[in-house]
């Protein structure tokens, strides 16, 4: 077997082993040392002797400091590394780097559903919004009836989705931070994949009343002349006698929306109508070498095509904050990045942890020693374009907020995906190295494998294999273009593996406020 190692920057004194199954001790690396230890796939090998206390460099940055002298050819695992402190949020370079302008990409289109507010859906879904967890069982029952009895009559509707969640009551709803889960629910209800149709199922006595979740004026009227009032089914209404009558009410209201959704057709729209959220989960050391750089290349293509691309995951960008603030389009954008990450630092401090609480046992088994190394590999998903906007958690992008956006969210896969849905995402890209069957009911999720071994074993779960980059079969540029074209296909209706298997995870709200 030809030994294959990957080094990210010429300053690096470690490289990662790319071979499936790793490499045994005694392997001579081409132009490098002989391995003194067995090094698992994705893990780091010292390319030269590293004295105690010296920086261990990957991506050209110190991902840690050697706790003891490390000989060339040693496996450099987490126990040998002291993690550097997080960069202070004062004195950062603000909007100092202007990336070289790139020519616009013209002529790329997809087939989407144009909404009354001008946004575009990639799917035509009926969403049933809920104000409180109490109604979830009833809504799940109604959903099955809608699927079985109604959807066959409305063939142009792609599906029905329940927006259920654990919020709505038993919470300190007037606490300042409660604004985050409340606006998240409001904005998810208005996601472009729901066609501007909003129907709500409420219990009646809950703290989060429908009018608080969706105040008058938040919903674009689907068709001129129609009643713009909020469509609410309240289970505690006296008109409801028995469970069956609640289900009848939900089905009756669902029909009204299905009629309108069913009249919609896909039309050719420019690629600039894409609002793509990217994130990673179940990461390994290949994430930052194969899949995330390919996503970054595709992100640049999307920006050049006039589209919107969001990257998120606060704890995975915190150690790269200098890269973000310097790449901000304006000092105001840089200040907004500092404001969001500073708020998040304080949020973590309240729980007596910091960004290092992010890494998982699987990350470490996959070769990621600590959050600094993980962050350097995560941030490359954002590509190289200037950061044009910053979005606080649960907020929705305005139509004029295009380009590269930092949507500040936790890195938790479900919370990040939920907040990106609220931001107006109509397409999701998810990279994984360890493997996760992650999916969302409200939006197609394109999953990108970081390793060929994972792509082979999970052949009917991974939509794209970026492991081809580590194998030497494809360049980052080729993978980036492949992803860009796949995104246009999926936006036009091609179903992802998760959609084919109907896999989806729960919506999970970010609620930093107290419960009662």
- Return residues touching Ca ion (CB under 5 A): 279, 281, 411, 413
- Tokens representing residue 344 in the block: 């998040």
Least distance (Å) between residue 359 CB and Ca ion? 12
Alpha-helical regions (H) of 115-238 = 136-145, 179-189, 210-213
Least distance (Å) between residue 430 CB and Ca ion? 8
Contact 105, 260 (CB under 8 A): no
Task: Tell me the C-alpha to C-alpha distance, in Å, between residue 20 and each of 40, 42, 367, 472.
Answer: 9, 9, 13, 13
Nearer to Ca ion, 46 or 411 (CB): 411
Nearer to Ca ion, 133 or 360 (CB): 360
Contact 334, 325 (CB under 8 A): yes
Q: From the CA atom positions of the chain, what is the Rg in Å?
A: 24
Least distance (Å) between residue 412 CB and Ca ion? 6
Contact 381, 295 (CB under 8 A): yes
β-pairing verdict for 125-130 and 308-311? unpaired
Q: For the purposes of burial, counting CB atoms within 10 Å of the CB of 152, is it exposed (0-12), middle (13-18) or buried (19 or more)? A: exposed
DSSP track, 370-403: SHHHHHHHHHGGG-SSPEEEEE-TT----TT--E
Least distance (Å) between residue 279 CB and Ca ion? 4
Nearer to Ca ion, 387 or 411 (CB): 411
Least distance (Å) between residue 280 CB and Ca ion? 6
- Tokens representing residue 447 in the block: 């999953």
Q: Is the dihedral of CA 391, 397, 403, 404 positive or negative?
A: positive
Rounded Cα distance between 64 and 54, Å, is: 8
Nearer to Ca ion, 451 or 474 (CB): 451
Nearer to Ca ion, 12 or 463 (CB): 463
Within its chain, how far is the Cα of 312 from the centroid?
7
Nearer to Ca ion, 42 or 281 (CB): 281
**Closest residue by Cα to residue 448 from 436, 460, 465:** 465
Rounded Cα distance between 401 and 424, Å, is: 11
Nearer to Ca ion, 27 or 409 (CB): 409
Q: How many residues make up the chain in this entry?
A: 516
Least distance (Å) between residue 308 CB and Ca ion? 19
Nearer to Ca ion, 247 or 391 (CB): 391
Nearer to Ca ion, 271 or 427 (CB): 427
Nearer to Ca ion, 206 or 340 (CB): 340
Sheet holding 125-130, edge to edge: 159-163, 125-130, 199-202, 231-234
Nearer to Ca ion, 17 or 429 (CB): 429
**Closest residue by Cα to residue 121 from 133, 111, 112:** 112
**Closest residue by Cα to residue 440 from 305, 281, 315, 287:** 281
Least distance (Å) between residue 283 CB and Ca ion? 8
Longest CA–CA separation in the chain, Å: 80
Contact 235, 246 (CB under 8 A): yes
Nearer to Ca ion, 281 or 435 (CB): 281
Rounded Cα distance between 379 and 389, Å, is: 16
- Which residues are within 8 A (CB) of 500 and not within 5 positions of it... i.e. 6 or more apart? none
């Amino acid at each position: 077997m030809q030994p294959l190692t990957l080094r990210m920057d010429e300053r690096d004194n470690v490289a990662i082993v790319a071979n499936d199954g790793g490499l045994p001790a005694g392997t001579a690396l081409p132009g490098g040392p002989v391995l003194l230890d067995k090094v698992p796939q994705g893990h780091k090998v010292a390319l030269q002797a590293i004295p105690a206390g010296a920086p261990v460099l990957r991506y050209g940055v110190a991902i840690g400091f050697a706790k003891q002298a490390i000989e060339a050819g040693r496996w450099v695992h987490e126990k040998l590394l002291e993690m550097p402190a997080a960069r202070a949020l004062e004195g950062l370079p603000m909007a100092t780097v202007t990336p070289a302008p790139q020519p616009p990409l013209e002529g790329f289109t997809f087939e989407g559903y144009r909404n009354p507010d001008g946004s575009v859906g990639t799917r035509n879904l009926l969403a049933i919004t809920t104000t409180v967890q109490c109604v979830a069982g009833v809504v799940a029952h109604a959903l099955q009836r809608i699927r079985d009895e109604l959807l066959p009559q409305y063939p142009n509707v792609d599906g029905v989705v329940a927006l259920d969640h654990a919020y709505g009551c038993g919470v300190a709803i007037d606490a300042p931070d409660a604004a985050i889960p409340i606006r998240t629910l409001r904005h998810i209800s208005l996601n472009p994949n729901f066609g501007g149709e909003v129907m709500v199922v409420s219990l009646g006595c809950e703290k989060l009343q429908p009018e608080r979740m969706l105040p008058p004026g938040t919903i674009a009227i689907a068709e001129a002349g129609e009643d713009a009032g909020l469509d609410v089914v309240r289970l505690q209404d006296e008109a409801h006698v028995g469970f069956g009558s609640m289900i009848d009410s939900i089905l009756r209201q669902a029909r009204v929306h299905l009629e309108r959704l069913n009249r919609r057709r896909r039309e050719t729209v420019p690629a600039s109508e894409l609002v793509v959220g990217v994130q990673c989960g179940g990461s390994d050391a290949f994430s930052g070498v194969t899949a995330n750089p390919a996503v970054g290349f595709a992100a640049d293509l999307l920006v050049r095509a006039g589209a919107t691309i969001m990257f998120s995951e606060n704890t995975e960008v915190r150690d790269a904050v200098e890269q973000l603030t310097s790449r901000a389009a304006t000092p105001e954008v840089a200040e907004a990045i500092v404001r969001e990450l500073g708020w998040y630092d304080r949020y973590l401090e309240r729980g007596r942890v910091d960004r290092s609480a992010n890494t998982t046992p699987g990350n470490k088994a996959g070769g990621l020693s600590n959050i600094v190394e993980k962050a350097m590999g995560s941030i490359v998903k954002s590509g190289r374009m200037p950061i044009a906007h910053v979005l606080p958690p649960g907020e929705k992008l305005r139509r004029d907020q295009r380009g590269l956006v930092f949507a500040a969210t936790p890195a938790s896969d479900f919370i990040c995906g939920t907040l990106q849905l609220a931001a107006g995402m109509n397409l999701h890209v998810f990279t994984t190295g360890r493997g996760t069957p992650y999916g969302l009911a409200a939006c197609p999720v394109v999953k990108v494998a970081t390793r060929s071994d994972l792509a082979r074993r999970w052949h009917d779960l991974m939509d794209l294999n970026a492991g081809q980059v580590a194998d030497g079969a494809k360049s980052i540029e080729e993978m980036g273009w492949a992803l860009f074209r796949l995104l246009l296909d999926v936006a036009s209706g091609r179903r992802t593996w998760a959609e084919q298997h109907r896999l989806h995870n729960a919506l999970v709200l970010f609620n930093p406020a107290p419960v009662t």
